[in-house]
């Protein structure tokens, strides 16, 4: 049975994970690859939000900006408009750390994961991702690697070659025309696609930040 934006998988294009990757919730895990399109919508003030749809244009998530916030804050809404995640940049940190909480909370007890640049100076942005229970952060749980200029990145489990998701510039459906603020996202089989979407959003926010001082 077809799922959200399910496309044919050629050969062994996706290496199956040994165990399902569940970070946000099991309802966002499917036994087939999930293909989504993330596109930015502008408001009159120059701010905006992101729509996340399947390849048929059905709304899956919406990313809402928090206007006039002291620190950068975004809210990811589910298809019904209910707050699913709050993404907030931690101030006064050297590596541009973003923290992701459940619902509209920013209480430490509701922290799900955090992501930060792996080093201060990078030619290609890499993110180290830590689950909330990994308080020591002696090793990262996931890694985002890629080239933002090429609009391409992959998400890996820890320090391994196991890829669980990707952002890519081109899509197999030829009718979709991509611009610089539209991205194709694929979550691999048995991988939490809400988690992959949140990582791509953080990568976008870090690379769009023109400050460049932290």
What local confidence, expressed as pLDDT, does residue 172 receive?
45
Q: What is the 3-state secondary structure (H, E, C) of 58-113?
A: CEEEEEEECCCCCCCEEEEECCCCCEEEEEEECCCCCCCCEEEEECCCCCHHHEEE
User: 18 in a domain, yes or no?
Assistant: no
The parent domain of residue 160 ranges over 26-208
User: 5 in a domain, yes or no?
Assistant: no
Top mean-pLDDT range of 12-21, 65-74, 171-180, 184-193 = 184-193
Residue 2 has pLDDT above 80, yes or no: no
- What value, to the nearest 5°, has the Cα angle with vertex 122 and ends 136 and 23? 40
Top mean-pLDDT range of 8-17, 29-38, 86-95 = 29-38
The model's confidence at residue 125, banded by pLDDT at 50, 70 and 90, is: confident
pTM: 0.85
Q: What is the tens place of the pLDDT at every residue in 30-52? A: 999 999 999 877 654 445 678 99
User: 151 in a domain, yes or no?
Assistant: yes
What does the mean pLDDT of the chain come to? 82
CATH of the domain at 70: 2.40.160.200
What local confidence, expressed as pLDDT, does residue 210 receive?
43
**Total tally of structural domains belonging to the chain:** 1
């Amino acid at each position: 049975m077809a799922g959200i934006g399910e496309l044919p998988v050629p050969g062994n294009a996706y290496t199956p994970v040994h165990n399902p990757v569940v970070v946000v919730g099991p309802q966002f895990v499917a036994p087939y690859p999930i293909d989504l399109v993330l596109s930015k919508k502008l408001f009159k003030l120059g701010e905006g939000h992101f729509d996340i749809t399947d390849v048929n244009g059905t709304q899956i998530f919406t990313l809402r900006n928090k206007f006039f916030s002291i620190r950068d804050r975004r809210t990811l809404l589910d298809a019904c408009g209910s707050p699913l995640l709050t993404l907030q940049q931690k101030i006064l940190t050297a590596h541009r750390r973003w923290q992701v909480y459940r619902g509209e909370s920013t209480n430490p007890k509701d922290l799900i994961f955090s992501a930060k640049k792996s080093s201060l100076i990078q030619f290609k942005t890499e993110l180290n991702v830590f689950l909330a229970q990994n308080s020591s952060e002696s090793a990262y749980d996931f890694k985002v690697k890629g080239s933002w200029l090429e609009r391409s990145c992959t998400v890996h489990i820890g320090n391994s070659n196991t890829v669980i998701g990707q952002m890519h510039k081109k899509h197999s459906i030829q009718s979709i025309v991509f611009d610089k603020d539209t991205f194709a996202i694929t979550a691999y089989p048995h991988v939490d696609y809400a988690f992959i979407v949140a990582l791509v959003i953080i990568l976008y926010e870090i690379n769009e930040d023109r400050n460049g001082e932290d």
